[in-house]
Structures are given as C-alpha cells and as structure tokens.
Structure 1
C-alpha cells in the first residue's frame, strides 16, 4: 500500500471515545486523534482501537482555581471503532460511515466522597464521512450522533453514560508543506449539540473544540510531532444553577509508526493540560494528563 494512502489513514480523525470527566461538557474527549487528524482514508474497511488513560490532578472552578482538598481520579477507556470508506463519492468527496463502541472505567475522589463506574458507554454512529484530497491538502467533513446507551446516575459523577444524546459535526483540514508529504500541519474542529438530560431536565450548552498538530515523517517511517487541543463550552446549560462555561487547553507530543506489509499503524501521544475552568451542570472541570495509544488495522 503506498505511503500516501497510509498517511491518510493515520490522519483519520472523525470521532472516538467518550469519557465523563475528560470531555468539555459533551461526549467527545479532545486529543484523541492528534497528528493529521483531518484526512479521511482511501476506500476500504478499517478497525481502530483506542486506549486512553487520563490522570486527574485537580478539579477547577469557573475561575480556573483548584478546589480545596485532595481531589483526583482516573479515566481508562478502550474504544472499538469500525470505519468503512465505501468507494463511492458525493460532492466530489470520498464517502464513508463509522461506528464506535467505548468501554470505560472511571474512578473519582472528590472531597470526602469516592465514586466509580465501569462498562459500555454511549455508542456513536456516524452515517457521513466526506473526504476531499488534493496534491498537498486534505479536507474532511463528518456528522454523527452519540446515543444515550451507557448507564447514567445523576448522583454519581463517575457515570459512564452522559444521560443525554449529542449530535456532532466535524470539519478539518490538513496541509503538507512539501510534495513528498514529510511535513504537515492540521486542525480538526468538532461542534457538539446536546439533548436534554432526562434525570435532571438540564440541556447542556453547545461546545466546540479544535485539535491541532504539526508533524514530520522521517525516512524510516517514524512520524514525530507537536500536538494540542483547545475546547470551549459556547452556551450556558439550560436549566443549570450557573451560567458558567467550561474550558480546557493542552499541549503534548506524539509518535507513530506504520508497517505497510502488515497494514498496521501504531501511534502514541502524551498531553498535559495547562489550563481548565469549570462550568455547566457540574460547575467544575478536571485538569490532568492523558496518555493515548492507537492501533489501526486494514481489514
């Protein structure tokens, strides 16, 4: 398989796992895709497994100040994702579909209480992936829906389900500085629109995030780069006790490698969150460090 096609798959970034403490007032946790997260792959069927471990150092209020006391936690997620690029085109773009089934284990220590939950989280179905490709650029648009399938308990902040549904719109672009595609810069944005949370009758406000990366592929196939994300809650939650809006920012590094003969790609990244502020129905936002591993196989 030519490298250009492999590079497109490593860059695939349409949707992924949902974690209760990591996402900004929504389902999508930022920093999952990283380098080149704005290019759809060539026609074919693909499996991608995500392993995410998020260590929470503190919980911050709306001003970005840490809550008093020893507050910490962990989120570990394993998500199974299938992507099918059909070989058909629409509006000049390659057309595909996808689905994601996340499995989560959450442990939180907040104030005097400890909370935990594990199991299958909210499932994502994406009926539209559109990928446009040029000589040195790629553009991707996608839409999909997170369904309220995971268990949710309003009294348990570690619940693996959200208790509401989310429609997610994705738009991103990638530019290669040279014809050989050894250097690239990318940005991938996601906009989330939520339904009402049944148990609380609160409707979370819309949120928007951008994942970005600057990468370089070496002659031996190793890819290295700088990655980061910025996420904002744009609207206050309807029915919540506060009008505060959540926000978080992070920077990190990523490394990846591919085996063309085996049709396998491995990628890993580390992110450090340097700023986070709480808002919405929780009133607080976690701040910590994340380790993310990806395994991709061409089926």
Structure 2
C-alpha cells in the first residue's frame, strides 16, 4: 500500500553527491506504507462490500547513514495522503477461510526540499491490488494471509526530487494475526516480505525487505481500545544496478507511538495514532500521524 514513498530522496542525494553515504533501497523508501496497520487488522468481516479510508501526514527532516548518524544535508520531506480502499469479501471459502479481494488508490500531496532546491507533486500514487484469505479461529483470535501487488501508476521522473511513484512493480506475501477482546488484551501483528522488480529508467533493483506492523493495547468496554503501535523494518538483500550488486548498506528502522480505536458497534470503526521513527539506518527519519476509517458499503 504505497501511500508515501521516499523516491525523491535518491534524486536529492545524487544531486548533492552523497548517495553512497545513504545507501539502502532506491530512494531510501519502500512500496509498503510502514506502520499503516492497527488494531483488528486481521479480522475479516462477513461477506459483502466494505470501504476503508486511510489518512497519513508524514514529516521528515533528517537523513541517517549506516551508523545512524545524521547526514549534513539540508533536507525536509512532507507528505499528506488520502488512500481509499475497497474490499470485497466473497462467499467463497478456500482452505477453510473466506476469500477477499481489495484495491487501494492513494492520493498523494508531496513536498521535498534539499538545499536550495524544492519541488512539490500531487496526484495518484502507486496502486495496490491483492487478495487474502481470512480465518476466525475463536471469538478472540483471527488471521489473514494473502498477496499484494504494487502497480507503478504514480508519476515518476528520475530527474525529479518529488516523485509519487517508484516506477517499479513489486509483490508482497502478508500474514496478519489479531487478538481482539473488548474487555482485555488486544494484539496485532502483520508480517510482510517485499520482492522488488527493476526500475527500467535507472536499472536499479532495490533489495528484498522484511517488515512487521504491530499494535498492543487494552479494551475498555465495547467501544474503546488504547495502547501503542508501530513497525519494525529491515532490508534483507543488497540492491542491484545494471546487474551488479551494490554493497551500499541496508535500510532499517523502528517506529512506536500511541494508538486508539473507537468501535461504534454498528459496523464501522475509526483508529488514530502517532508514530516516531527511531533506530533508523540508511533512510530518512521522521514521524507520522495516521487515521483509518472502516465501514460497510
């Protein structure tokens, strides 16, 4: 789900001659919007058509090298994203679970500044499409497994600072496990592994990436859940360019912050959270505010 990518960082670093200091995937980012999931992420609803809207405000003003030190580069990135998602839960069962399909179309407003140069871009980002199978193991325990495909539909120009697409296809198998208790422990984890294809304009192929989103909280009656959420990210293989491995260092990051969920009890719920990125290597570091609304159509 490519709400925000930091593709612009690559062009910025190349323009300033410090690309080798930053390393990591192309642009120092990823097709997946790290930290997007929250409470109840693994609980598939009954068959039907559902809508979701994700909102994100992300701001970063530092670039980190492989040792976690701040690079001496004047840098600022701000992204505001609204990403509608449509989910169709079919009546079909596969391996004992319900089959579902989904599509996400992110609308991105991106502003990037590096030194005296500044660019902005608005438009549709990279679209995500995928399928999943959901199981209800008990009233408290639920899980999902599926595959997402990231389509290079967003604007991209290798000479631009502000790109809202990554110009490459990618695929990601995912697995989500959720414990939901309106009067007790709530816990969620979403595991994903990203396989990137080559950017045809730059011959750059970003390395494979492992991540998990997490949420841990407590239910305070039928409506409210509160706790903490975030993500852990690690690049697992080297990047390649023109068929040659690049030993430029792998990206990594951890994020954490407060999270809250309100469930109306009438089929819709809303979550809100703030996350701060820490332990960042070879990437931009910042913070994000997330809003998520889920409702039947």
- Taking structure 2 as the reference length, what is the TM-score of the superposition? 0.86
Seen in structure 2, the aligned counterparts of structure 1 residues 166 and 79 have a Cα distance that, compared at 3 Å, is same
Seen in structure 2, the aligned counterparts of structure 1 residues 31 and 187 have a Cα distance that, compared at 3 Å, is same
Query: In the TM superposition, what whole-angstrom CA distance separates every residue of 1:174-217 from its partner, at most 9, and x where no partner exists?
Result: 235x6x66322221111111111010011111101011111222
What SS is found at the alignment partner of 2:249?
Answer: coil
Alpha-carbon shift at residue 24 of structure 1 (Å): 6.2
Seen in structure 2, the aligned counterparts of structure 1 residues 173 and 254 have a Cα distance that, compared at 3 Å, is same
Which residue number corresponds to residue 295 of structure 2? Answer: 297
Query: In the TM superposition, what whole-angstrom CA distance separates every residue of 1:44-96 from its partner, at most 9, and x where no partner exists?
Result: 21110111000113111222211114322201111010001112110001110
Query: In the TM superposition, what whole-angstrom CA distance separates every residue of 1:93-152 from its partner, at most 9, and x where no partner exists?
Result: 1110000101111111223322322110111111x2111111132121010211111111
Query: RMSD in angstroms over aligned alpha carbons?
Result: 1.9
Inter-partner Cα distance in structure 2 for 1:270 and 1:206? 27
2:254 to 241, 249, 261: 249
Which residue number corresponds to residue 264 of structure 2? Answer: 259
Which residue number corresponds to residue 133 of structure 1? Answer: 136
Seen in structure 2, the aligned counterparts of structure 1 residues 78 and 141 have a Cα distance that, compared at 3 Å, is same
Which residue number corresponds to residue 202 of structure 1? Answer: 204
Inter-partner Cα distance in structure 1 for 2:39 and 2:198? 34
Deviates more, 1:82-91 or 1:166-175: 166-175
What SS is found at the alignment partner of 1:245?
Answer: coil
Which residue number corresponds to residue 279 of structure 2? Answer: 275
Inter-partner Cα distance in structure 1 for 2:240 and 2:2? 25
Contact 1:24 1:207 in 2 (8 A): no
Inter-partner Cα distance in structure 2 for 1:24 and 1:125? 23
Which residue number corresponds to residue 106 of structure 2? Answer: 102
Which residue number corresponds to residue 164 of structure 1? Answer: 168
Which residue number corresponds to residue 282 of structure 1? Answer: none
2:85 to 81, 84, 105: 81
Contact 2:47 2:90 in 1 (8 A): yes
Structure 2 unaligned regions, length at least 5: 8-26
What SS is found at the alignment partner of 1:238?
Answer: strand
Which residue number corresponds to residue 71 of structure 2? Answer: 67
* Count of residue pairs the alignment pairs up: 274
Inter-partner Cα distance in structure 1 for 2:152 and 2:84? 17
Contact 1:17 1:77 in 2 (8 A): no
